[in-house]
Amino acid sequence: MHIDIISVVPDLLVSPFSHSMMKRAKDRGLLNVNVVNMRDFSTQKQKQVDDYQYGGGAGIVMMCEPIANCIEHLKKERTYDDIIYMTPDGERLNQKTMNSLSLKKNLIILCGHYKGIDERIRELYITKEISIGDYVLSGGELAAAVLVDGIGRLLPGVLNDETSALFDSFQDNLLSHPVYTRPEVFMGLKVPDVLLSGHEKNVRDWRHEKAVERTKARRPDLLGEEE
């Protein structure tokens, strides 16, 4: 998979993709993340990418030209399945969206800043708008990193255990069941006997039961129940 991330502060995205699973995905040739500096596509002498908004009011807006120039440049290199804009008023990100995007081949992710991007860019170029939650960040870079991390770990060959992602929270609309490792007893608390039994069906049934219990207690909305 190839992902181009358009940003006005590309240095913010150096660390998230230089460690752990994202580095492994890159080293194995499974995921290529290219961070593009939007200022390189500004036609202004000072590499300006923002301006005051029409109609007045506080805050500045990211200009059309640098974004359009950048996207058009990238589109000359490859065909993109989606051009995604990270924005608080986008579709709420969930595991279903992660799963769907992990099947794509080429993506562009546009990171917003300030009061956002000129609406005409959204109309002309953006195919998907995503929010990682009901709050506002100083920019879309951290949100883009969250999205890429969630997509990247689903790519075949990234996780050492190919089945691991199938049992993550939110797969099948359930939170994950409790997990344990050594020691068997810690500060008086013992690992449940069923997990030590070696009986695969009983373990599987126990995990499902606990996942349902946890989901009902913490996120009943995932089961279609009222809070």
pLDDT (tens digit per residue) in 161-204: 655 665 565 678 899 899 999 999 999 999 999 999 999 999 99
What pLDDT sits at residue 170?
67
The verdict on 173 and 122 lying in the same domain is: no
Tell me the angle at which helices 20-27 and 141-152 cross, rounded to the nearest 10 degrees. 60
pTM for the structure as a whole: 0.90
What pLDDT sits at residue 225?
78
- 222 DSSP β-pair partners: none
Q: Which of 19-23, 61-65, 97-101, 168-172 has the lowest mean pLDDT?
A: 168-172
Distance CA 195, CA 181 (A): 10
The verdict on 92 and 182 lying in the same domain is: no
* Residue spans of alpha helices (H) in the chain: 20-27, 64-75, 95-101, 119-124, 141-152, 200-218
What pLDDT sits at residue 165?
61
The verdict on 85 and 195 lying in the same domain is: no
Mean pLDDT for the stretch of residues 53-80: 96
Would residue 12 count as lying in a domain?
yes
User: What is the residue range of 200's domain?
Assistant: 169-223
What pLDDT sits at residue 111?
98
The verdict on 34 and 122 lying in the same domain is: yes
The verdict on 188 and 130 lying in the same domain is: no
The verdict on 31 and 103 lying in the same domain is: yes
The verdict on 96 and 205 lying in the same domain is: no
pLDDT at 68 > cutoff 90: yes
What pLDDT sits at residue 150?
95
Residue 189's CATH number? 1.10.1270.20
- At 65, is the pLDDT very low, low, confident or very high (cuts 50, 70, 90)? very high
The verdict on 123 and 174 lying in the same domain is: no
The verdict on 89 and 139 lying in the same domain is: yes
Last residue of a domain, one of 120, 152, 184: 152
Mean pLDDT for the stretch of residues 33-39: 97
Count structural domains, the chain. Answer: 2
The verdict on 13 and 120 lying in the same domain is: yes
Sheet with 2-7: strands ordered across: 32-37, 2-7, 106-111, 82-92, 128-131
What pLDDT sits at residue 187?
97
What pLDDT sits at residue 166?
57
Please give the full DSSP string across 64-79, using - where no structure is assigned: HHHHHHHHHHHHTT--
What pLDDT sits at residue 59?
92
| C-beta of residue 69 within 8 angstroms of C-beta of residue 41 | yes
The verdict on 37 and 11 lying in the same domain is: yes
Mean of the per-residue pLDDT values for the chain? Answer: 93
146-157 pLDDT per residue, tens: 999 999 999 999
Distance CA 126, CA 83 (A): 5
Residue written as token pair 């992902």? 3
The verdict on 173 and 105 lying in the same domain is: no
